[in-house]
Amino acid sequence: MAHFASILSASTRKTVLVTGCDMYAGFQIACMMLKHKGKHFEEVYAVYFEENHLVHELKKHGACCIKLAIADGADKVAKAYSKADVVVVVPPVSDEKWEEDACVFVSAVEKAKVKGLVLCSKIGVEKMGGFRMLEPLLKMEQAYEKVKGEVEAASLVRCSLHIDMLWLFRRQIASEHSIKLPASPDAKFAPLAEADGAQGLYNMLVDPKFPTGTYELTGPKQVDFKTITEHAASMIDNSITYKQIGRQEMEEYLMQQEDVCENVVCFLADMLEAVSKGLVEKCGGDLEKLLGKQPMSVERYLEKNADSFKP
């Protein structure tokens, strides 16, 4: 199988398309590609379901933004994909049809005759069949297995839960001095920073030393929410405590915020439940290999972003 780097270097177009750009994960990846526009990419296409402040930012930075929905069907998705040499499929969780047929965002690759495919997924997805909002990930991985032989280069990139999800609770942390989540305080996982994940994925695309295949991206070590809270207390405010709450209470809190859609809230709730059940415990070295350095720790993330969590 070819490398992504060889596909891009041989192409006269040098184009990449990223889906899910109305959510933070897709936005970060698209931003990383835009940062290197003119070097490895001549055009960066950013696909979104609902226009929001993230899409506005991408437009300002020169992305060619495309509104695309699962309901548009395979032909329209394939038409958008055909503009790109490499497609990075960030699961379109914000789409109102997310639970019904998200696989179209993978299967359309074959019709579009795309040369390179990256599917982003989650660690532990093979055990998540009972989670309503996570089950589409499993189906997307199954679709990936069917189409990966039809492209020149294909990689599956599974990520742990991102530590950046704390950003959604910044007002709560600042005003109530508390981290309140529907997750066991002792549940172990190895969270990574979105920026590290985006950088690692970019490196995989442009550096020929990284082969295609399956990558599992995690932070440098396992932590639990009790430990995360202790780090937050030392970096932000020593009165910060952790409280395990019900799923509904968290969902109601997040739905009060602007630009946070219900699907994303329910997806996060399912992920936190999966963490609580020990399904996302894995900690490995793939991200460190892609970055060429140790990924950002929870302590470093909180130290770097401490001001965002203060009143």
Are 174 and 238 in contact, with CB atoms under 8 Å apart? Answer: no
Are 102 and 92 in contact, with CB atoms under 8 Å apart? Answer: yes
Mean pLDDT of the residues in the chain: 96
Are 45 and 62 in contact, with CB atoms under 8 Å apart? Answer: no
Of the candidates 291, 310, 293, 284, which has an alpha carbon nearest to the alpha carbon of residue 159?
284
Residue located via tokens 């995360």: 228
Above 80 in pLDDT, residue 258? Answer: no
Tell me what pLDDT residue 129 has. 87
Are 157 and 121 in contact, with CB atoms under 8 Å apart? Answer: yes
Q: Is 215 exposed, middle or buried (0-12, 13-18, 19+ CB in 10 A)?
A: buried
Instruction: Report the range of poorest mean pLDDT among 151-160, 195-204, 232-241.
Output: 232-241
What's CA 113's distance to the chain center, in Å?
Answer: 24
CATH 3.40.50.720 fits 4-160+192-217, yes or no: yes
Given pLDDT bands bounded at 50, 70 and 90, which one contains residue 249? very high
Residue type, position 248, single letter = Q
Residue 210, CB-side half-sphere exposure with 13 Å CA sphere: 23
Above 80 in pLDDT, residue 1? Answer: no
Residue 132, phi then psi, degrees to nearest 5: -55, -45
What tokens appear for 137 in the block? 């990930």
Q: Is 237 exposed, middle or buried (0-12, 13-18, 19+ CB in 10 A)?
A: middle
Q: What is the number of other CB atoms lying within 10 angstroms of the CB of residue 99?
A: 16
Of the candidates 50, 41, 110, which has an alpha carbon nearest to the alpha carbon of residue 77?
110
Residue type, position 71, single letter = A
What tokens appear for 213 in the block? 């295949």
Are 31 and 55 in contact, with CB atoms under 8 Å apart? Answer: no
Tell me what pLDDT residue 4 has. 97
C-alpha 12/C-alpha 109 separation (Å) is 20
Residues of the chain with CATH 3.90.25: 163-188+220-280+296-309
Tell me what pLDDT residue 208 has. 95
What's the predicted TM-score (pTM) here? 0.97
Residues of the chain with CATH 3.40.50.720: 4-160+192-217
Of the candidates 147, 137, 157, 158, which has an alpha carbon nearest to the alpha carbon of residue 210?
157
Mind giving me the DSSP string for 13-60? S-EEEES-TTSHHHHHHHHHHHHTBTTTBSEEEEEESS--HHHHHHHH
Residue 170, H or E segment:
helix 170-176
Q: For domain 163-188+220-280+296-309, give its CATH number from 3.90.25, 3.40.1350, 1.10.260, 3.40.50.
A: 3.90.25
Question: Mean per-residue pLDDT for 129-148?
Answer: 96
Q: How far is CA 120 from CA 41, 69, 231, 237, in A?
A: 20, 18, 29, 35
Helix axes 135-147, 104-112, angle to 10 degrees: 20
**Pairing outcome for strands 43-48 and 64-67:** parallel
Above 90 in pLDDT, residue 311? Answer: no
Above 80 in pLDDT, residue 199? Answer: yes
Are 43 and 15 in contact, with CB atoms under 8 Å apart? Answer: yes
